[in-house]
Amino acid sequence: MYYQPNIKHVGFLQSTGRGNRKKNKCLHEILASGFKCRLSTQNIQKERENFYRISTIIVDHGKESLTLLLDNELNSNNQTLEDFINLNQHEIYHLCFNRYTCCQCVNRKLPRTTPASRVLHPDQLNILLDKNGKTLSCHNIKSTAQFCCCPAKAALTTKFLDLTLLRCLLINFASICPPNSNIRLAVDDLI
């Protein structure tokens, strides 16, 4: 939106009978401020366009890159995504539910790797875990905890994962992303 100088101000300057020099200076200031505002609006629009371009690149190509990394991790360990999720199920569960113990917690203590704040949302666990299927043998039938001891969904593949889930699995569980490695730093910097 462009700055429109208020015509009343210009009319006021002309009707006061003050010298032309002062009128020209005030009129010049009004026009100059309109020009600055127009430039900053153009800059904001350009920055917004650049932001959308970068976001598109991250979403389109970032997901593809992270999918390839996770697929590489799975292939190098001769695993399916289902195997990978089942192997890390307890820790994945506590990335979402990080305040309370579950049936798998040893001595009713949270795993030492449990983060202080929630990393995953229950909707994301719903993508990974089958809460309607058979639960693991260690499950306490009196437990009402959602997703506790739920195995990975059988038909789960990397194409079902979004950018944030891919990043979470890579950073927290993939041997291809050890701490302080260049790959981990690149994955961390992506989003």
CA-wise closest residue to 89 among 150, 28, 32? 150
pLDDT at 12: 39
pLDDT at 36: 55
pLDDT at 136: 61
Q: Which residue has the higher pLDDT, 26 or 103?
A: 103
Distance CA 3, CA 32 (A): 10
Distance CA 107, CA 117 (A): 22
pTM of the model: 0.68
Measure Cα distances from 12 to 15, 24, 27, 181 in Å.
Answer: 5, 13, 11, 67
Distance CA 67, CA 11 (A): 64
Q: What is the pLDDT of residues 140-177, one digit of tens each?
A: 565 556 677 788 999 899 999 999 999 999 999 999 99
Provide, rounded to the nearest whole percent, the portion of the chain with pLDDT above 70: 73
- Residue 33 tokens read as 């401020």
pLDDT at 8: 41
Distance CA 111, CA 189 (A): 27
Query: Could you give the dihedral angle defined by the CA atoms of residues 88, 132, 66 and 50, in that order, rounded to the nearest 10 degrees?
Result: -130
Q: What is the pLDDT of residues 89-111, one digit of tens each?
A: 989 988 988 888 777 777 777 77
In our burial notation (b when 16+ CB lie closer than 10 A, e otherwise), range 138-169 reads ebeeeeeeebbbbbbbeebebeebebebbbbb
Distance CA 189, CA 191 (A): 6
Q: Which residue has the higher pLDDT, 37 or 92?
A: 92
For residue 131, pLDDT beyond 60: yes
Confidence of residue 13 (pLDDT cuts 50, 70, 90): very low
pLDDT at 11: 42
Query: Could you give the dihedral angle defined by the CA atoms of residues 117, 122, 128 and 133, in that order, rounded to the nearest 10 degrees?
Result: 130
Read off the pLDDT of each residue in 6-13 and give the average, rounded to a whole number. 41
Report the mean per-residue pLDDT for the chain: 78
